[in-house]
Amino acid sequence: MASLVGGAALAAVFGEVFNVLHDTVKCVGSDALMYKPILKSLQFNLNLLAPVVEEIRQLNKKLDHPEGETKSLKEDMRKARELMGNLGPQEWDYPLQAYYGRQLTELNEAIVMFFQLSCSVTGPSDFTVGMDEPLKVLKTKLLEEKKQQLLLTAPGGCGKTILVKMLGHDQESKGKFKDNIFFVPVSKTLNPMVIVQRLFHSICDREPEFQSDEDAINQLQVLLTQMGSSPILLILDDVCPGSEFHLEKFKFDITKYNILVTSRTTLPQFSFTYNLKPLNDEDAMTLLCHSASVQDGSSHIPDEVIKKAVGGFPLALEVNGKSLYGKPVEAWRSRARKWSNGHSIFSSSSDLLHCLWKSLEFSDDKDILKECFMDLGSFSESQRIDVPSLIDIWEVLHELDEDGNDAIAYLHELATRNLATLVMTSYNEDFVTQHNLLRELAMYESSQEPIGQRKRLIMDINKNTLSKWCTKEDQHLINARLLSISTDELFLSSWCNIQAPKVEVLILNFQTRNYCLPDFMFKMDKLKVLMINNYRYFPAELRNFQLLKSLPNLKTNKLEKVSIPSLCKAPVLLKSLKKISLFMCKIVSDALPNLMEINIDYCNDLVELPAVLCDVICLKKLSITNCHQLSALPNGIGKLVNLELLESKRSFHKLCILDISDCLGIRHLPKDIGELCNLKELYMKGCLSLRKGLPPSTTNLEQLKLVICDEERAKFWEPIKEVLTNLEVKVAEKIST
């Protein structure tokens, strides 16, 4: 196992930097109000991790971080400390706001990822109300000296997740279960293999392969049994009805093993069920005023107006309060009038959705922010939506700028209004999540128009039950520009003949072992962006891929956890494709002659890049992340004369020789090149566009012995040689043949 910290000295420095940042975050106050949510989250995580920093060397036994990662995080924390000194009231400097906000969010995510809190219970909201009594009841049951099977049930948006997170961080609960509290969000589909995989990764940092759900469950039971006599608490959050069969598999007969399930409906066969009620009027008023930043004595808003705007659903109250922030009393009165219809605005799910939508107050039907919010409903429930995919979609649908700045601005605005959660990391893994109730809200609004007139059409197909409208012979023409189809593990690819010639973005989400692309894609002449996502644990075989050659305008293709063996037998020529993203895929193809961008992520079986890649001469960007088995680049990579950007985050750890000679377009080396811990030789002659020096992480290449480059690039290596004293730099023209 790699050492976490290179000796006591580095451990001491790491602790010192951590403590300085910790104290600084505590001191940042009123001058940084616009960053309050980010700082609150950052402070919470720092508070949580402060005790373990004092024992960081002992953590070697639990964490497997190379020394470079520790140094990298330490440097990030130092930069954040400097950034804190610049925080102030820059209300009108939006680009600066976005930059500072991104930097803080990146640091927060880096800290969480570094300590591998994968199945840990993340922190609850910084402000909660009305949860003390429910917390006391659940905690009392769990502290009993016997194993428990508990169910927490309530409608969506009532605060179930908030409550179990509070339980996971309660001191008495932690005193009993210690490090054995595991939290797994489940949502629509309870997939045993995915859950077990996450638990294995969290408990023992392993990801074994499973032959079936039963095999996964059996291996988990053995693992939990081997954990000793300490009590265990497994929290499965947001289990939907219909998952009872799978849920029963997790009820192991193990001494001191406890399971807590949250669900919107009452599920059978639990030893104890707790029904979480909506907040009472007093607590609801408190939460609403807090979300709107209305403080006692600082507002002229009459109490009777506030009372009319009160309901007991925390999520609705937070969204409503955020939308009323800074608004005059007239806006509050107007909102109250809209809600005063003679009955409780939160009395049913449809009322809640209707009222929530009114509270958003988008400027008009052409508001791009509104359209972006509704687009998020096109993705599967509880899906982590990667930011680059959203940018690709919004470039097409809303004509945003290609560099992504407009998209990031809209994402920040959605996050500010509590309509989405934006997580931006320094590892090129930026993603968005959305509360399931908010997804339902986006789908609800999208479905208000007749089928044929909708801008986006979202289809959730359970088993093989298709909507009546798409099975009729006189089916209406679909005019949607975005079509999203999600199917479950029982779907048999029984497609209907959907007529949607105007679709420009197609999102296909599935969970079956084999998946056949629908024949109706053949007529989608305007299709520009295609996303195919497999949510099974293992890669699935994708069939009918040849349909793509009939799509003359397809520019972007994202594939997740699929293999396409047919490409090896009968290549599909995709002349129009400019960008392809592969996530945990098994794919080989030389049929992409005009590609300008390739993103490869978590393709764990990738050992060497295929030589045919070097024939994609239009390629400008090659990004390879988290491909830990990758050990070699093709010898002919120098043929990529148009390559401008080579990224290799968390990849190429085994790479000993890197030859990028004659890559004329490369303007800079990967900023994380220092992670190539085994690199011994680097050949870079003819990299004529590389004129801005070398990234700071180059000094971490401790195994590097030889660099061959031209005379101008050799100057960049002079300061590096002062650190890497065994490094030899040779000028190519002086090497004898």
**Which of these ranges, 33-42, 206-215, 243-252, has the smallest mean pLDDT?**
33-42
Backbone angles phi, psi at 275, to 5 degrees: -95, 110
pTM equals: 0.54
More confident residue, 421 or 586: 421
Angstrom distance (rounded) from CA 141 to CA 287? 27
β-partners of residue 529 are: 505, 556
Which of 131-135, 158-162, 377-381, 578-582 is most confident?
A: 131-135
Angstrom distance (rounded) from CA 52 to CA 72? 18
Q: Which long-range contacts (CB under 8 A, 24 or more apart) does 355-363 make?
A: 355/311, 355/316, 356/316, 356/319, 356/320, 356/437, 356/441, 357/441, 357/444, 357/445, 359/316, 359/319, 359/320, 359/323, 359/335, 360/319, 360/323, 360/417, 360/419, 361/323
pLDDT digits (tens, 9 = 90+) for 293-302: 876 544 666 6
Residue whose pair of structure tokens reads 């009027």 in the numeric block: 281
Q: Cα dihedral angle (556, 561, 565, 571), rounded to 10 degrees?
A: 10
Residue 88 has pLDDT above 60, yes or no: no
Q: Tell me which architecture the domain covering 368-437 has in CATH.
A: Orthogonal Bundle (1.10)
Locate the DSSP E strands across 585-698.
597-601, 621-625, 645-647, 657-659, 681-683
Burial of 291 (0-12, 13-18, 19+ CB in 10 A): buried
- CA-nearest of 108, 81, 113, 111 to 16 is 81
Residue 2 has pLDDT above 50, yes or no: no
- Contact status, residue 278 vs residue 313, Cβ threshold 8 Å: yes
Confidence of residue 707 (pLDDT cuts 50, 70, 90): very high
Between CA 263 and CA 234, with CA 160 as vertex, the angle to 5 degrees is: 70
Please state the domain extents for the chain. Answer: 8-114, 146-275, 281-360, 368-437, 604-737
In sequence order, the 6+-apart residues with CB closer than 8 A to the CB of 233 are 142, 168, 173, 177, 180, 181, 182, 258, 259, 260
pLDDT of residue 496: 76
- Contact status, residue 708 vs residue 685, Cβ threshold 8 Å: yes
pLDDT digits (tens, 9 = 90+) for 403-452: 778 888 898 888 776 678 887 765 456 788 887 777 878 888 888 888 88
Residue 662 has pLDDT above 80, yes or no: no
In sequence order, the 6+-apart residues with CB closer than 8 A to the CB of 593 are 573, 575, 615, 616, 618
Angstrom distance (rounded) from CA 381 to CA 264? 14
Between CA 374 and CA 381, with CA 377 as vertex, the angle to 5 degrees is: 160
CB count within 10 Å of CB 374 equals: 20
Quote the tokens at residue 552. Answer: 């003359």
**pLDDT above 90: percentage of residues in the chain:** 14
pLDDT digits (tens, 9 = 90+) for 605-645: 666 676 667 777 777 777 776 666 666 666 666 667 677 66
Confidence of residue 111 (pLDDT cuts 50, 70, 90): low
Angstrom distance (rounded) from CA 53 to CA 545? 50
Angstrom distance (rounded) from CA 491 to CA 595? 33
pLDDT of residue 628: 64
pLDDT of residue 164: 93
- Contact status, residue 96 vs residue 141, Cβ threshold 8 Å: no
* Average pLDDT over the chain, rounded to an integer: 76
pLDDT of residue 139: 92
* Superfamily of chain region 146-275: P-loop containing nucleotide triphosphate hydrolases (3.40.50.300)
More confident residue, 720 or 57: 720
Quote the tokens at residue 263. Answer: 């669900």
CB count within 10 Å of CB 227 equals: 16
pLDDT of residue 60: 40
Residue 203 has pLDDT above 70, yes or no: yes
pLDDT digits (tens, 9 = 90+) for 334-354: 767 665 543 334 444 455 666
Q: Cα dihedral angle (287, 292, 293, 298), rounded to 10 degrees?
A: -100
pLDDT of residue 55: 47
Helix or strand holding residue 516 (H, E) = strand 514-516
Sheet holding 562-563, edge to edge: 514-516, 540-543, 562-563
| DSSP 8-class letter at 690 | -
Angstrom distance (rounded) from CA 273 to CA 417? 33
Kindly give the interhelix angle for 368-376 and 387-398, rounded to the nearest 10 degrees: 130
More confident residue, 515 or 96: 515
pLDDT digits (tens, 9 = 90+) for 676-697: 788 888 888 888 888 888 988 8
- Contact status, residue 460 vs residue 486, Cβ threshold 8 Å: yes
Angstrom distance (rounded) from CA 503 to CA 458? 12
Q: Helix H segments across 238-324?
A: 244-248, 281-291, 303-308, 314-323
- CA-nearest of 340, 343, 284, 339 to 312 is 284
Q: Tell me which architecture the domain covering 604-737 has in CATH.
A: Alpha-Beta Horseshoe (3.80)
Q: What is the bridge-based pairing of β-strands 579-583 and 514-516? A: unpaired
pLDDT of residue 69: 53
Quote the tokens at residue 296. Answer: 């006692």
Length of the chain: 737
pLDDT digits (tens, 9 = 90+) for 151-196: 998 877 788 888 999 998 889 998 898 889 998 888 666 778 888 8
Distances (CA, A) of 480 to 404, 477, 500, 524: 24, 9, 7, 11
Cα-to-chain-centroid distance, residue 53 = 26
Backbone angles phi, psi at 463, to 5 degrees: 55, -120
Confidence of residue 397 (pLDDT cuts 50, 70, 90): very high
Quote the tokens at residue 445. Answer: 């609004």
DSSP 131-165: -HHHHHHHHHHHTSSS--EEEEE--TTSSHHHHHH
Sheet holding 505-510, edge to edge: 456-461, 482-487, 505-510, 529-534, 556-560, 579-583, 597-601, 621-625, 645-647
pLDDT digits (tens, 9 = 90+) for 306-337: 666 556 778 778 777 777 777 888 877 776 76
Quote the tokens at residue 466. Answer: 């298709």
Q: Which H, E and C letters describe 378-405, residue by residue?
A: CCCCCCCEEHHHHHHHHHHHHCCCCCCH
